[in-house]
Amino acid sequence: MKIKSAEFIKSVADIKQCPNLNLPEFAFFWRSNVWKSSLINMLTQRKDLAKCSKIPWKTKLFNFFIINNERIIVDLPWYGYAKSWEKERKNWLDFTQEFLNTRDTLKNTFLLIDASIPPQKIDIEMIKCFIEDWINFSIVFTKSDKCNQKERSKNQKLFDKEMNKIWLTKYIKFVVDNIHWKWREELLSFIENSL
């Protein structure tokens, strides 16, 4: 899949405001500091398509982008935790849950996981929710170049062990870094064929 065009459509704060273009949608769901905006920009080769911020809770809205006038990328709010923003965070998650469970055009949700650290409880809990709600998802391991091969292998084994605990022995995964760009072709191919 070759990216010919990538444009911002709109940001929304309510399910009723979501664009209804009847095009296949692919959502990116993330915890804090996993290179979400950078990933979307690298994937589309558009430097400032998704705005990068050092403050994760700044992504409070659902951001929609149209790719090649035929597919939609949805940048979802983060699911990290900040005590001072607990009430607002709950509103984001309620909106997210409604979107993931009712959006007919949603083909897949990419859950971004930091490959440079051991698996986090909040990530595993989110995966459990996806399984319980029968939501199609894939794992995208980001920041894989931020640790050496030994650490990366160790974290991957720990993650697989957690997956085995919830009876998920096989899952679709992609490994992303800033050095080897084979992942980009694999991810775009997956998006192109997931219809």
Query: Which structural domain range is residue 65 located in?
Result: 6-193
CA–CA separation, 194 and 118 (whole Å) = 30
CA–CA separation, 29 and 142 (whole Å) = 12
Is 1 a member of any domain? no
Question: Cβ neighbours of residue 176 under 8 Å, at least 6 residues apart?
Answer: 35, 39, 140, 141, 142, 143, 144, 183, 187
How many structural domains does the chain have? 1
Residue with structure tokens 């399910």? Answer: 15
CA–CA separation, 188 and 190 (whole Å) = 5
pLDDT-derived band at 138 (thresholds 50, 70, 90) equals: very high
Is 163 a member of any domain? yes
- Here the CATH number for the domain that contains residue 103 is 3.40.50.300
Of 170 and 128, more confident: 128
Is 65 a member of any domain? yes
Residue with structure tokens 């209804």? Answer: 20
Say what the pTM is.
0.87
For 92-131, write each residue's pLDDT tens digit: 667 788 888 889 999 999 999 988 889 888 888 888 888 8
Contact yes or no for 127/111 (Cβ under 8 A) = yes
